Structure 1
Amino acid sequence: YVGPFKALERVGDVAYKLELPKELSRVHNTFHVSNLKKCHADEPLAVPLDGLHFDDKLHFVEEPVEIMDHEVKWLKQSRILLVKVRWNSKRGSEFTWEREDQF
């Protein structure tokens, strides 16, 4: 999660308009409540904005560090090669399985 941010106003029954910093100026500032989390003083999941990079679709850009494992899954007659990737994440070590041909 990124934040915390100040809630400026309630929009309807299920959304809030937030005060976002200039680094997030390309992000729409109204969010459905399902996308918000209550901020606690010692919240370890909050990600600092400094050093974050976004692509054209406003997705976080995180760099892979190393491939940890390989696996083959079968889908009917097709083999799907998977790799377990350790990412350089602001939230700490993060691992995901990715298709080898898309990695």
Structure 2
Amino acid sequence: MAPYEALYGRKCRSPLYWDEVGEKALVGPELVQMIVDKVKIVRQKLKAAQDRQKSWADLKGRPVEFNVGEKVYVKVSPMRGVVRFSKAGKLNPRYVGPFEILEKVGTLACRLVLPPSMSRIRNMFHVSQLRRYIPDPSHVLEVEPLLTKGNLGEELKYEEVPIRIVDTKEQVLRRRIIPYFKAQ
């Protein structure tokens, strides 16, 4: 419905609706009929444009269905200043995972089993954010033990200490010189 009709509970008293209200005799049937014909033409052209856009959109879209128990990757959305899934930067992967689908919520959402390290992230995702995982026997990841030297802290952080300066370089700009050092 039109905003006017939603606000006031009746149709707007414009020439578009005079044929429905019964004021056709006041203005003249030719003017009202001409306006009604124009409105029909506009509606037909809008419908044709919507159908054309829908046909192009349907060509690009692909129906994606996932089943319970399958493994999928989750897309890491690169937004400026937002770190998701503890990943940031442009060289990090676009997708993380694989994660198992716990249940389907409707036709377009899936609930995933996330590890405890991602407990703060909501575990329901739209299918457009998921990519199918194709199992590969060579894709088995082996867990390597962490560094056990004494410099590893409680939060798994360590301090890097340079051993020696390998190379030096100076970048000459117009008003200043920037020294660069390559450390081992």
TM-score class, shorter: 0.3 to 0.5
TM-score scaled by length of structure 2: 0.23
Question: Hey, which of these two has a bigger chunk of helix by percent?
Answer: 2
TM-score scaled by length of structure 1: 0.40
Structure with more relative contact order (C-alpha pairs < 8 Å, separation 6 or more): 1
